[in-house]
């Protein structure tokens, strides 16, 4: 049977409708110029706040990078880690594994949010603020530039009981930690590159004290390093705020010294040291220790990928008025 020419276009359209894949309204479509029209001062406001805060408190960069990681690895990059506990809910940030997340990291996000609400109220999500601020701070301390695509919505849930098993712990094996990375789409090489974030920041003594004292003390720590750490942490059971730099050589500079330190027995956490001991991760440690450019390139790509983990679209999230509260306060 021959189709009438006048009917053919309608039949073709109907056919295309049937075979075209359905697109969910909740899918986040990220792009770097997301706020170009709706909040044209977004980049400037974030940049100015980042410069001011990092100048006041030099540990902000490391803290914010860590906060971003902890956010993305549980429920995706949706700012759920920023939510404060209330009478209805114990939030992620109050789980034991997150109790050492630094206040300066939360503060920089809140500062930026306050400024943006004055400039373009109700437009920019807290998840995007955290992602953009992290990139700005990493580059400020010497790290590589990477693209940050925007358009995330803020999550509608933050549960403390979900943290354990989704955030790596310093006494876990390479296999177990890689399992968490793999679940979020990262290869072993990307895991090692992202571990290089420990080239800045610090860890509290309770996170590595079992390597220093008693019958289970780690004999593979550089002896002089171990002696210095024992002296530093001798009162850590009384004062749990005592901490040591993750990178004892260049603690405030984002470089490849972390990997060089691992080869010298200067890895602070047990999970750091295992990267040089494990046959599957050692080649990447060796590469990054000798080739900073390779480390920076891999880290930048992995961070771009990190920013897309589990992002929420319009149907799955909101733009919070305050970063530490859901818009529905009863949630």
pLDDT score for 330: 56
CA–CA separation, 205 and 156 (whole Å): 34
d(CA 271, CA 162): 22
Please measure the distance between the N-terminal and C-terminal CA atoms of the chain and give it in whole angstroms. 60
The rounded distance, in Å, linking the Cα atoms of 205 and 23 is 49
pLDDT on residue 69: 97
Q: Does residue 92 have a known ligand-binding role? A: yes
DSSP class of residue 182 equals H
Total-model pTM: 0.90
Instruction: Grade residue 315 by pLDDT with cuts at 50, 70 and 90.
Output: confident
Residue 116 contacts residue 95 (beta carbons within 8 Å):
no
For the chain, domain boundaries? 41-162, 174-306
Query: Residue 37: what pLDDT?
Result: 97
- Which pLDDT value is given to residue 9? 44
Mean pLDDT of the chain: 91
pLDDT at res. 221: 96
Mean pLDDT of 99-122: 96
Give the containing element (helix H, strand E) for 257. helix 257-263
255 annotated to a ligand binding site? yes
| 42-56 helix and 103-119 helix, angle to the nearest 10 degrees | 150
Kindly indicate the confidence band of residue 114, based on its pLDDT and cuts at 50, 70 and 90: very high
What's the pLDDT tens digit per position in 256-280? 999 999 999 999 999 999 999 999 9
Q: What are the tens digits of pLDDT across the range 41-81?
A: 999 999 999 999 999 999 999 999 999 999 999 989 999 99
pLDDT at 14: 39
Task: Confirm or deny that 33 is annotated as ligand binding.
Answer: no
Q: According to the annotation, is 71 in a ligand binding site?
A: yes
Q: What is the CATH number of domain 174-306?
A: 1.10.420.10
Does 28 score more than 80 pLDDT? Answer: no
Place 17 in a pLDDT band, splitting at 50, 70 and 90.
very low
Q: How far apart are CA 40 and CA 260, in angstroms?
A: 42
Which CATH entry fits the domain spanning 41-162: 2.40.50.140, 1.10.600.10, 1.10.520.10, 3.40.50.300? Answer: 1.10.520.10
Residues 6+ apart with CB under 8 A from 223: none
SS3 category, 288: helix
pLDDT, tens digit, 9 for 90 and up, residues 165-192: 999 999 999 999 999 999 999 999 999 9
Is the predicted pLDDT of residue 107 greater than 70, yes or no?
yes
- Catalytic residue positions, numbered: 70
168 is in an annotated binding site: yes
Q: What is the pLDDT of residue 99?
A: 86
Bridge partners for 86 per DSSP: 89
For residue 78, say whether it is annotated as part of any ligand binding site.
yes
């Amino acid at each position: 049977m021959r189709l009438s020419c006048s009917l053919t276009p309608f039949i073709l359209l109907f056919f295309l409708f049937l075979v075209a894949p359905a697109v969910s309204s909740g899918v986040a479509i990220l792009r770097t110029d997301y706020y170009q029209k709706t909040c044209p001062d977004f980049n400037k406001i974030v940049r100015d706040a980042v410069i001011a805060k990092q100048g006041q408190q030099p540990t902000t960069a490391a803290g914010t990078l860590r906060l971003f990681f902890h956010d993305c690895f549980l429920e995706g990059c949706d700012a759920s880690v920023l939510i404060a506990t209330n009478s209805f809910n114990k939030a992620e940030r109050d789980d034991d594994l997150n109790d050492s997340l630094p206040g300066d990291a939360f503060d920089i996000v809140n500062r930026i949010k306050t400024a943006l609400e004055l400039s373009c109220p109700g437009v920019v999500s807290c998840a995007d603020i955290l992602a953009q601020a992290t990139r700005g701070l990493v580059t400020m301390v010497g790290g590589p530039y990477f693209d940050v695509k925007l358009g995330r919505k803020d999550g509608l849930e933050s549960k403390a009981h979900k943290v354990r098993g989704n955030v790596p712990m310093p006494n876990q094996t390479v296999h177990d930690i890689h399992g968490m990375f793999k679940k979020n789409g990262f290869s072993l090489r990307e895991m090692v590159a992202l571990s290089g974030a420990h080239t800045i920041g610090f860890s509290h003594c309770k996170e590595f004290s079992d390597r220093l004292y008693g019958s289970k003390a780690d004999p593979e720590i550089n002896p002089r390093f171990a002696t210095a750490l024992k002296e530093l942490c001798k009162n850590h059971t009384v004062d749990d705020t005592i901490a040591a730099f993750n990178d004892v050589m260049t603690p405030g500079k984002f470089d490849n010294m972390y990997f060089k330190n691992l080869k010298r027995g200067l890895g602070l956490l047990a999970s750091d040291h295992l990267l040089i001991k494990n046959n599957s991760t050692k080649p990447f440690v060796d590469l990054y220790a000798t080739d900073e450019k390779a480390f920076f390139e891999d880290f930048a790509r992995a961070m771009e990928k990190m920013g897309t983990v589990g992002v929420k679209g319009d149907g799955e999230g909101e733009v919070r008025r305050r970063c530490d509260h859901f818009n529905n306060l009863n949630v």
